[in-house]
């Protein structure tokens, strides 16, 4: 049996059991025993488990931890039994986590936001921009908007940014340019890409909670409705949908029962945030990891990155090339990675090729300057120049060249796949920032610039995810 058949068969079997309503009635030890009996082992000794959030986990033989990691596609695998008692509870699927919206890891560079979605947001924004800043003071996002901008505008912007998987936008993406007249200063990035910060849920809460504490119930309700209306519009794009669904489930109860969060608002914003999170169903757990578990959120972002570069000859080396951009003065990053990715990252570290973005080694226009000793993707892999060089350690030549899903006819990544890599790489950088406080470069991470060059050649078209 080919390795992907083995992994697919095991995944299908576990999915069938977990989605069965009887699964939720089993005690956790019994669930763990079922999962542990279906661990797969590859010839290199790696152990793989399909578990929580409908994802695969790789066992680290050094310390016994399990890391979220996509399984290999080119190795045989056999089923073995693992000791159930040592499986962490967080790995055991509960059931609702298997019904989560998968979404998309694409950035908003390349595939445009649907015109209908943008137009609906524009209409909502135009009406909101006419509100008085005295009735709707700017209690969050004041670094983005001018002081006379009402918080109704900030509520729409904050929802767009919070719901986005990776807020890296084409420099002339209309969904962003419609906010132009309200901005305090130019957005970070350059003429090609706007590398925008992703707000926390607390930023959205602050807009509403301040009005509630001030006794302005109607204003608080209006802001809640704007959050919901914007999220409802964003459902049309898979890059927004998972978090938009989560946001809607958190705030709709407060729309139906006016004043629901007033007692929490009188305590502080964090109390309101916790009230919102408590109303979110378990099926949205992964979409909210950035709010509930920043470390696990980073690990799952790395999983997305590995999936996005799966078409490469060595996905671990490719992913390590992007992780090399992260600032890691405390050397915390290697401990967060599975042993295969950790090994690839350490090879780059030993070659002095890590923390490139932290050193600001980019040209003024944001494009990458090749560094001494830096490897680049060879032309025969990219496919007729379809994908500019990336700072990942690959051999001088790559054999094979057959197309796989997500590649162009020439064997390089197709446009959608390149956008997915860019999105996953930027989301990983933002997850690292959320976890460690590390700075995100204003012009983006150095390793992403080759992807930008690939995508800007096909801007402003009608292709939508």
Question: 67: which strand partners?
Answer: 58
pLDDT of 138 > 70? The answer is yes
With pLDDT > 90 as the criterion, what percentage of the chain qualifies? 74
Q: How far, CA to CA in Å, does 175 sit from each of 65, 124, 150, 194, 239?
A: 42, 12, 19, 12, 14
| pLDDT (tens digit per residue) in 25-66 | 999 999 999 999 999 999 999 999 999 999 999 999 998 999
Phi, then psi, of 324 in degrees rounded to 5: -65, -20
Residue 232's alpha-carbon distances to 31, 162, 255, 264, 341, in angstroms, are 36, 13, 14, 25, 38
Distance CA 149, CA 128 (A): 10
Provide the sign of the torsion angle of the four alpha carbons 406, 412, 415, 419, taken in this order: positive
What is the Cα–Cα distance from 445 to 166, expressed in whole angstroms? 13
pLDDT digits (tens, 9 = 90+) for 285-344: 999 999 999 999 999 999 999 999 999 999 999 999 999 999 998 999 999 999 999 999
**What are phi and psi for residue 40, nearest 5 degrees?**
-110, 145
Instruction: Please tell me the distance from the alpha carbon of residue 407 to that of residue 374, in angstroms, as a whole number.
Output: 25
Prediction pTM value: 0.88
pLDDT in tens, 109-133: 988 899 999 999 999 999 999 999 9
Cα–Cα dist 457/465, whole Å: 18
Residues in the chain: 465
* Range list of H helices, 279-414: 289-292, 294-308, 315-323, 339-350, 379-382
**Using an 8 Å Cβ cutoff, are 211 and 219 in contact?**
yes
Euclidean distance between CA atoms 233 and 188, whole angstroms: 25
Per-domain residue ranges for the chain?
A: 3-99, 115-291, 294-458
What pLDDT does 429 receive? 96
Residue 59: strand pairing partners: 66
DSSP strand pairing (168-170 vs 47-51): unpaired
Which residues on neighbouring strands pair with residue 189, listed in sequence order?
194
Helix crossing, 415-436 with 294-308: angle to 10°?
160
What's the number of CA atoms in the CB half-sphere (13 Å) around residue 28?
11
Q: What angle do CA 381, 382, 387 make, to 5 degrees?
A: 155
Confidence band for 413, pLDDT divided at 50, 70 and 90: confident
In terms of Cα–Cα distance, which of 293, 294, 323, 296 is closest to 308? 323
pLDDT classification of 458: cutoffs 50, 70, 90? low
Q: How many CA atoms lie within 13 A of 199 on its CB side?
A: 22
DSSP 115-157: HHHHHHHHHHHHHHTTS-TTTS---S-TTTB-TTS-HHHHHHH
CA 419/CA 22 separation, integer angstroms: 40
CA nearest 51: which of 103, 93, 104?
93
Read off the DSSP letter of residue 286: G
DSSP helix/strand/coil, 211:
helix
Residues 332-383 pLDDT 10s: 999 999 999 999 999 999 999 887 664 444 332 332 333 333 323 323 222 3
248-289 pLDDT, tens per residue? 999 999 999 999 999 999 999 999 999 999 999 999 999 999
Task: Determine the Cα–Cα distance for residues 95 and 21; give it in Å rounded to an integer.
Answer: 8
């Amino acid at each position: 049996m080919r390795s992907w058949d083995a992994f697919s068969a095991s995944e299908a079997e576990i999915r069938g059991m977990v989605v069965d309503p009887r699964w939720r009635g089993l005690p956790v030890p019994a669930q763990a025993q079922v999962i542990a009996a279906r661990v797969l082992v590859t010839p290199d000794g790696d152990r793989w488990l399909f578990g929580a959030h409908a994802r695969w986990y790789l066992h680290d033989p050094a310390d016994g931890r399990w890391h979220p990691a996509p399984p290999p596609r080119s190795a045989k695998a056999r089923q073995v039994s693992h000791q159930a008692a040592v499986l962490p509870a967080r790995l055991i699927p509960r059931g609702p986590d298997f019904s989560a919206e998968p979404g998309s890891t694409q950035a908003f560079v390349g595939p445009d936001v649907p015109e209908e979605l943008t137009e609906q947001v524009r209409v909502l924004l135009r009406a909101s921009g006419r509100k008085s800043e005295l009735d709707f003071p700017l209690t969050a996002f004041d670094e983005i908007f001018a002081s006379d901008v009402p918080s109704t505008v900030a509520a729409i912007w904050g929802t767009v940014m919070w719901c986005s998987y990776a807020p890296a936008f084409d420099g002339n993406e209309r969904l962003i340019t419609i906010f132009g007249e309200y901005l305090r200063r130019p957005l970070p990035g350059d003429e090609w890409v706007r590398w925008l910060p992703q707000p926390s849920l607390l930023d959205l809460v602050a807009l509403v909670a301040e009005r509630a504490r001030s006794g302005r119930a109607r204003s608080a309700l209006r802001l809640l409705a704007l959050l919901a209306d914007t999220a409802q519009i964003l459902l049309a794009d898979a890059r927004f949908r998972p978090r938009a669904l989560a946001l809607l489930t958190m705030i709709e109860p407060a729309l139906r029962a006016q004043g629901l969060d007033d007692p929490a608002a009188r305590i502080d914003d964090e109390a309101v945030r916790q009230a919102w999170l408590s109303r979110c169903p378990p099926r949205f757990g992964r979409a909210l990891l950035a709010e509930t578990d920043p470390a696990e959120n980073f690990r799952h972002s790395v999983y997305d990155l590995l999936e996005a570069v799966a078409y490469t000859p060595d996905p671990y080396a490719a992913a390590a090339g992007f992780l090399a951009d992260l600032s890691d003065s405390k050397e915390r990053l290697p401990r967060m990675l599975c042993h295969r990715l950790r090994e690839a990252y350490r090879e780059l570290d030993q070659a002095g090729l890590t923390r490139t973005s932290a050193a600001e080694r980019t040209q003024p226009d944001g494009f990458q300057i090749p560094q001494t000793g830096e490897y680049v993707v060879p032309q025969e892999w990219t496919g007729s120049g379809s994908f500019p060089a990336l700072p990942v350690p690959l051999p001088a030549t790559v054999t094979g060249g057959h197309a796989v899903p997500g590649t162009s006819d020439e064997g390089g990544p197709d446009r959608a796949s390149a956008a997915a890599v860019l999105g996953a790489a930027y989301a990983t950088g933002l997850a690292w920032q959320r976890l460690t406080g590390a700075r995100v470069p204003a012009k983006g991470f150095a390793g992403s610039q080759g992807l930008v060059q690939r995508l800007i050649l096909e801007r402003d078209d009608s292709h939508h995810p």
